[in-house]
Structure 1
């Protein structure tokens, strides 16, 4: 018990004083924050720029401002700026980020977003060595150059570029509309050789790019509620180094459509969460300037990536072009609760030298319809593909510890379902899936530039393949090197087979109640980064002690 009341009073006074100082500091930041207005028509770069009545005109004026935490850069809604918005060496704070936004011009009919037309420029928005910034409510386009600028291979809607020892941190990209981004003038076309190259070798336009070179780092980036449409290559692309110097990235609730390349692609990254995105028509060919090939999403040299609750549909291209695939040199990449449909390349694709990756509780509809040799296709489409490819200069090495469980796979009558497995794959679990394949099924050779090894002296190691529901006994190829040891046969009787809504694949037959618990692959002590057990099915129904087969549990009504 404190016997000195004076000490207690002094202690209380000290605490009160500290609180007052903290509050004063907090509100001081807010009081000092400045709003800067920009209007491309009525603005004047000699004005003070701090009110709607006296806005700046040129976005180049930003380079002259000493921006402080809490400041706002406000661009007139509905007006077109024909400059790059450059943010270089600008730093807000975590509590008081700098905001770049559109403003509605009082007394006028201006609505919507401010427009940045970067035609003839390399970037619509450019960010380098900056932190704690929110960029939102802008429309960005860059449809070909006025003249050939003669340098650079990328034209980008929003570019975050780290070079040297730069650090880009806590940047939020929200509610952007990025469209019509092309490096070339109309009429340029791509050769078959260009489309067959790994990522394209020519000049392209991209939606959003994060590029971390040298010793730079890009961390804590959020891309949210943004629409990207009609670009000649990738919609959202993250490119780090072997150090995986792009980290802690969130890609949430975006719409990406009609990209000439992949919808979303990431390499050299760690700790990425991709959730709630709608990616459609990747690999689009509706403009000759587009690459014409690309999965909805793919990872390469990536670690700890969670891809969930997304929709991947209508991917196109002569190779790859799955709904979402895991390229080589990855670990701990999980795809769960995704809806994949009508993707030419297929559903599950895991390439070589990958560790502890998984597809679970996904729904696939009519994926893998591509036929090798038709319309320039150099790969078969496949519903399930494990490949040993890990680069053209390296020997085959199949993926290690691949988990594939509780997926629902539907393929319509008349479409051939194809499966390929490299015999160097080591550690594989295929359990509790529904293979509802109405047409024929074939075992084919994997064909990433050269064929995977599916025959010979090698045998698959550490395989647990059992308790999957097949529509009939021919739903898995007889000449496959692996077969279900305890198969189930019958129809789940989907609510509306062939539909493009997840609820169409609610099972109406209780045969799907015969699931078994998911266990570790023999010899794998790690499993998956978030564990093997799931608390809910695709439609958020709780999973009880009795496991189900497929992505959606049977509910007896």
Structure 2
């Protein structure tokens, strides 16, 4: 064989070895050195700086030593794996079985990805509790963003713990008016954040089985042109802002998440206001089998609310408990959205002007708000059926329906209101004007009320054929879904109506108005029962 052929053959083999075969790279802050090649546990790298500067190939794994703390940040720009060969940040067994920790104190992000595709982050703990800070900005556990216009895909964050993320150092005091601003005007710490901009597009995002707790603002905040967003089985606790917030999304699934104590104010660096979850300006999302509990704040702070400019958002099979702002909230210019087969327990307990509260809590609210100083309109074609709502005796259940709402269906719900009920005005910035109005295209019938006065006469819509009686829950006032199983079969079984389309609505809900199973997964046979649970 000629020398030229030998050189050519060797070159091909070298190319194949570097382009076809993925490599595992090890990082160990105790035994490592950035002068090592990093490709074995015996010769690991030492720092996250090395991880940031190295040019990884599709299929490569970056493995941090378990049980160790790595100070610094990982920053990747324009790094791309392949669909079947993502680049993965994970761990290997070293000191103990605890996840490796990235301590990003003094850095803006634990991990920052810019213009990247086919990246997976799994099994890492990240914290970033203050430290040196720039003049402005935000601090994130994980930040994905785009600078260059383009199409990006396949970002996965799985089984990570993100905690104690604050822009400011302990002891920082926010002014008393900061919590009154719409989303906060100061710098904060965030859990996981996606910010897609500059005409970029991102598809196939998976955020699942993570734990996010004790951050200054939102736990998971995802904004921009993203198609196929999946937020699954995460636990989000004690966020200073909302638990989760989404906008700009097309096709999303938010399922199996546990959100508790959003809007937390147990640290002066937190915002102190926020719904468990809210959407804004997106199209087509299912929000199901989640729990939203103990949302706090002087305004907003519902369990899950649909902010303005959304289409096709379905909130189903969720538990909403003790959220200051309320249960069902649909704002203006929303089209064909629904709350169905949910259970609400003692939601909407906030009282306007009590403490710092400047907005009433409500168990049911249709609002025409579409932004400050803009003419209000909608929501349009709002469906609210087969929900079970319980409020205790010392809680005043409040409702509000805007004059500009158009197309409403309220049917087959159970309103178990032990105490008083009250009609209130929608109150974003300025309350809507009081007075009579006739809403167009309303179907309000066949709801079960514990007492005739459960639905206030001052609300602009009312049930044309109400049912009165006690569903006889297994444990009224309990915290679990099964506590709200009715036992009064004569009042509940097959007493629901088949849900029709709202008059004038030719579309309905994007997955249909007919439901096959209840909140517990029981098959719906015959006519639907009343409320969220079918009697077997």
Residue aligning to 2:5: none
Residue aligning to 1:388: 368
Q: How does the TM-score come out when normalised to structure 2?
A: 0.95
Equivalent residue for 2:196, pick from 197, 205, 212: 212
Query: Residue 346 of structure 1 contacts residue 381 of structure 1 at CA under 8 Å; is this kept in 2?
Result: yes
1:187-218 CA distances to partner (integer Å, 9 max, x unpaired)? Answer: 11222321011000001000000001111122
Deviates most, 35-44 or 338-347: 35-44
How many matched pairs?
A: 519
What is the Cα deviation at residue 455 of structure 1? 2.1
1:444-463 CA distances to partner (integer Å, 9 max, x unpaired)? Answer: 1110111124524x421100
Is 1:138 matched with 2:100? no
Query: Residue 136 of structure 2 contacts residue 187 of structure 2 at CA under 8 Å; is this kept in 1?
Result: no
C-alpha separation in 1, matches of 2:90 and 2:111: 12
Equivalent residue for 1:497, pick from 456, 466, 476: 476
Q: CA distance change for structure 1 residues 522 and 102 in 2, over 3 Å: closer, same or farther?
A: same
Query: Residue 217 of structure 2 contacts residue 241 of structure 2 at CA under 8 Å; is this kept in 1?
Result: yes
Equivalent position SS for 2:203:
strand
Residue aligning to 1:267: 247
Query: Residue 294 of structure 1 contacts residue 317 of structure 1 at CA under 8 Å; is this kept in 2?
Result: yes
What is the Cα deviation at residue 151 of structure 1? 3.2
C-alpha separation in 1, matches of 2:112 and 2:434: 47
Is 1:181 matched with 2:181? no
C-alpha separation in 2, matches of 1:37 and 1:94: 23
Return 5+ residue gaps in structure 2 as ranges.
1-15
Residue aligning to 1:12: none
Query: Residue 115 of structure 2 contacts residue 148 of structure 2 at CA under 8 Å; is this kept in 1?
Result: no
Equivalent position SS for 1:451:
coil
What is the Cα deviation at residue 110 of structure 1? 2.2
1:248-295 CA distances to partner (integer Å, 9 max, x unpaired)? Answer: 110000000000000000112211110000000000000000000000
Residue aligning to 1:332: 312
Residue aligning to 1:171: 155
What is the Cα deviation at residue 29 of structure 1? 9.1
Is 1:436 matched with 2:406? no
Equivalent position SS for 1:448:
coil
C-alpha separation in 2, matches of 1:63 and 1:124: 12
Query: Residue 231 of structure 1 contacts residue 290 of structure 1 at CA under 8 Å; is this kept in 2?
Result: yes
Residue aligning to 1:229: 213
Return 5+ residue gaps in structure 1 as ranges.
1-26
Deviates most, 546-555 or 428-437: 546-555
Is 1:82 matched with 2:63? no
What is the Cα deviation at residue 89 of structure 1? 1.7
Q: How does the TM-score come out when normalised to structure 1?
A: 0.91
Residue aligning to 2:323: 343
Q: For 1:219-298, list aligned pairs within 5 A.
A: 219-240=203-224, 245-298=225-278
Q: CA distance change for structure 1 residues 289 and 255 in 2, over 3 Å: closer, same or farther?
A: same
1:354-397 CA distances to partner (integer Å, 9 max, x unpaired)? Answer: 10000000000000000000110000000000011101121111
Residue aligning to 2:103: 117
C-alpha separation in 2, matches of 1:455 and 1:266: 35
Residue aligning to 1:149: 134
C-alpha separation in 2, matches of 1:115 and 1:187: 24
1:409-451 CA distances to partner (integer Å, 9 max, x unpaired)? Answer: 0001111000000011000000000000000000011101111
Is 1:482 matched with 2:461? yes
C-alpha separation in 1, matches of 2:515 and 2:175: 46
Query: Residue 42 of structure 1 contacts residue 55 of structure 1 at CA under 8 Å; is this kept in 2?
Result: yes
Residue aligning to 2:496: 515
Residue aligning to 1:460: 439
Deviates most, 164-173 or 309-318: 164-173
C-alpha separation in 1, matches of 2:310 and 2:53: 43
Query: Residue 422 of structure 1 contacts residue 453 of structure 1 at CA under 8 Å; is this kept in 2?
Result: no
What is the Cα deviation at residue 166 of structure 1? 4.2
Residue aligning to 1:530: 511
Residue aligning to 2:3: none
Query: Residue 454 of structure 1 contacts residue 481 of structure 1 at CA under 8 Å; is this kept in 2?
Result: no
What is the Cα deviation at residue 28 of structure 1? 8.1
Query: Residue 77 of structure 2 contacts residue 115 of structure 2 at CA under 8 Å; is this kept in 1?
Result: yes
> Root-mean-square deviation (CA), in Å?
1.4
Query: Residue 396 of structure 1 contacts residue 452 of structure 1 at CA under 8 Å; is this kept in 2?
Result: no
Residue aligning to 1:93: 82
Query: Residue 340 of structure 1 contacts residue 365 of structure 1 at CA under 8 Å; is this kept in 2?
Result: yes
C-alpha separation in 2, matches of 1:132 and 1:148: 30
Is 1:543 matched with 2:524? yes
Q: CA distance change for structure 1 residues 454 and 327 in 2, over 3 Å: closer, same or farther?
A: farther
